[in-house]
Structure 1
Amino acid sequence: MNETPDIGALVADTRSERLAIVTDVADRRLTLRPPGGPGNEEWQAMPAHVREADPAETLRAQTAEATAVIRRGLTDQAV
């Protein structure tokens, strides 16, 4: 990726082969987290090692986010 992606962008980390959401940009490094909400492990990557997620990856990430929201809602109701 030639440009630094915006915070909130969905990217594919080409080194770890994982989908991620950009949560921070500092010192030319990206802080990434997997789709699915807070509580997941974050990691860092250089902008050169990420690319924009393709449409299939975007759909997969949206599904993961929606599932996480539903699970959190079910957990809250069970308590």
Structure 2
Amino acid sequence: MTVQDAPEVGTLAVDTRNDRLGVVMGSEGPYVQLRPPGGGIEWDVPPQSLREATTSDELRAKVREVNASRRWTR
């Protein structure tokens, strides 16, 4: 995959180097930039280490967000 073939901005993708899910924010030079779904600091991913997120990946992210919000509201 090249930067030009990267998923569209706003879609979910997985950094295969560490199985980390992120929202595609754009590209900078030879890298695609991802941000955690709940917000946070962007990180750079080489396009060859990127894959589109599956439905399972998306569900996993939503469960993490719900669990995180419950921890902070107690």
Which of 56-65 and 43-52 deviates more?
A: 56-65
Radius of gyration: which is bigger?
Answer: 1
Q: TM-score, normalised by structure 1?
A: 0.67
Aligned position for 1:45 = 45
Secondary structure (helix, strand or coil) at the match of 2:58 reads helix
Structure 2 segments unaligned to the other structure (5+ residues): none
Secondary structure (helix, strand or coil) at the match of 1:23 reads strand
Q: TM-score, normalised by structure 2?
A: 0.71
How high is the sequence identity, in percent, across the aligned residues?
41
Q: CA RMSD in A?
A: 2.4
Give every structure 1 segment of 4 or more consecutive aligned residues whose post-TM-superposition deviation is greater than 3 Å.
Answer: 62-65
Number of residue-to-residue matches in the alignment: 69
Counterpart-to-counterpart distance in 2, 1:9 and 1:42: 14
Deviation at 1:58, TM superposition (A): 1.0
